[in-house]
Amino acid sequence: MLLYDIIKHINFLEVIGNDKIEISSIEYDSRDVKKNSLFVAIKGLHSDGHDYIQQAIDNGAIAIIADNKDIFDNLKKNLKIILMLSESSVKSMALVSKIFYGDPAESMKVIGITGTNGKTTTTYLLKSILETAGKKVGVIGTIGCWIAGNFISSDKTTPESVKLFEIISAMKKESVEYLIMEVSSIALVLDRVYGLKYDVVVFTNFTQDHLDFHISFENYFKAKKLLFDDYAKSDGVAIYNIDDSYGEKIVEDFSGKKISYGFNESTYFGTINSLSFDGLKLLIKENNIVELESELIGKFNAYNILTSYAIAKSVGISDDLIIEGVKKIKTVPGRFNKIKSDQGFWCIVDYSHTPDSLQNAMVTIKQIMNSTSKLITVFGCGGDRDKSKRSIMGSIAKEFSDVVVVTSDNPRTEEPMAIIEDILLGINNRETTFVKTDRKEAIKEAISLAQKEDVVLVAGKGHESYQEIGNKKIHFDDLEIIQELLNRKN
């Protein structure tokens, strides 16, 4: 594509050089640059792309977008490349990518889901409902991306704008009609979804997470609210959890149609009929009463079903198709995945890595397990992330579990034992609390303590098939480890 045909639609502060050249790709990582690439220098969380402009040029970049005026002025001496000065490289990258890939989302119904917990399960439920209705669906989220039934992995909940528009372009080629996106608070602040407009925006809940990035609850909430204030279409639909204390606040400035759901009086008013290890039954009341059955477990999954029901109704899907679509979902990767041992105890793997999600998982188990049985919880906290939640999670684990085994999650560049010590600050009574730095040994300890009808909850990593130790990712899958240890126990 001619660079001219891209940049004529964007207001750059300054453009130097011949823009009548073909651009082969758009890159923000200098290592990915190839011949005739357009390189966008963006300042990230850990590095600044402006420091790698020369490497990008050496690798074949023919055009550069920068927002550092001093560096731009210095680059003017190199007349072999095209230079563009932007007020914001990140926003320019999004707009350039949108044009380069032909505005691929324009032909789709775009649904954006934000909130601390429940986003992934809601996307899986909604995907199943829409596919049951015969629609072609694309999903972008924490576990990865689905393009009309084909899965591709992704390392970010919401990718950088270049990758995002590339993925959406691939969806367009597959005639995707509905794009469902998990939209993270970090992505909103960092303008990764700049250039997109959402037909439906959704709020699941708001609890503590990512305070290492946002610093305060107020900033974290403002980030979530951006989806409703800046990225929703003015005639779009906002769907929100009325039971959450932030629910009505997040939609207060929204000008389109507002739809609420919850277990209090709302547009879609839910009542739980039954909860067990086999699943749940949920009644939803609007003009009539609809009963949904699911193999998913717990009240938090009842919320996820309510959310997906409200979204599906907002885009015109019938109750019968919603009921069928919900019933098809047997499990979601890393979300309350259960294994029953030959000895009669359950092992559950869940992604619960925030105080609220950990408490929800344990409360759910306590509600449906035998009152005389033990809940044994294995968990840790991630390194190089929000330290303030560690002692809180320790306190919650101790309050709702009979036995706690504190271990490593993804320690990254922190010392595993230092993270564990932070967790232990929240545990006053260390009786029935065990510490095993090695995660496999921690799971082994928990399983060795379990007896018939007990439950072992292994929390924090869920679908992840690796551990981040130092700067390396090492293969580690909680479900695999549990199965291996149970096989040995037999």
Secondary structure element (H or E) that encloses residue 441, with its range: helix 439-449
Report whether 393 contacts 426 (CB < 8 A).
yes
- Model pLDDT, residue 46: 79
- The model's pTM is 0.89
The tally of CA atoms less than 13 A away on the side-chain side of residue 460 is 27
Q: Which one-letter DSSP state was computed for residue 87? A: S
- Per-residue pLDDT for the chain (490 aa), expressed as one digit of tens each? 899 999 999 999 999 998 899 999 999 999 999 999 999 999 887 789 999 999 999 999 999 999 999 999 998 876 678 999 999 999 999 999 999 999 999 999 999 999 988 999 999 999 999 999 999 999 999 999 999 889 998 878 889 999 999 999 999 999 999 999 999 988 999 999 999 999 999 999 987 555 555 557 788 888 899 999 999 999 999 999 999 999 999 999 999 999 999 999 999 999 999 999 999 999 999 889 999 999 999 999 999 999 999 999 999 999 999 999 999 999 999 899 999 999 999 999 999 988 988 998 999 999 999 889 999 999 999 999 989 999 999 999 999 999 999 999 999 999 999 999 999 999 998 999 999 999 999 999 999 999 999 999 999 999 999 999 998 999 999 999 999 999 987 6
Q: Which residues pair with 457 in a beta bridge?
A: 348, 377
- Model pLDDT, residue 122: 97
Report whether 336 contacts 296 (CB < 8 A).
yes
Q: Which residues pair with 474 in a beta bridge?
A: 467
Burial classification of residue 12, based on how many CB atoms lie within 10 Å of its CB (0-12 exposed, 13-18 middle, 19 or more buried):
middle
Residues in contact with 8: Cβ distance below 8 Å, sequence separation at least 6, in sequence order: none
Residues 327 and 316: their CA atoms lie apart, in Å, by 19
- Kind of pairing, strands 109-114 and 198-203? parallel
Rg (the chain; Cα; Å): 24
- Model pLDDT, residue 78: 64
SS3 124: helix
- Model pLDDT, residue 21: 93
Helices 299-314 and 319-328: crossing angle in degrees, nearest 10, is 140
Residues 276 and 214: their CA atoms lie apart, in Å, by 37
Residue 196 carries which side chain, given as an amino acid letter? L
Residue 335 carries which side chain, given as an amino acid letter? R
- Model pLDDT, residue 377: 98
Residues 291 and 281: their CA atoms lie apart, in Å, by 7
Report whether 365 contacts 351 (CB < 8 A).
no
- Model pLDDT, residue 211: 54
- Model pLDDT, residue 206: 85
Closest CA to 429 of 399, 454, 393: 399
H helix intervals, 197-279: 211-214, 217-229, 247-250
SS3 472: strand
Residues 114 and 202: their CA atoms lie apart, in Å, by 6
- Give the chain's count of helices (H) and strands (E): 17, 24
Domains of the chain: 3-100 (3.40.1390.10), 104-328 (3.40.1190.10), 337-489 (3.90.190.20)
Residue 257 carries which side chain, given as an amino acid letter? K
Please state the φ and ψ torsions of residue 40, each to the nearest 5 degrees: -105, 120
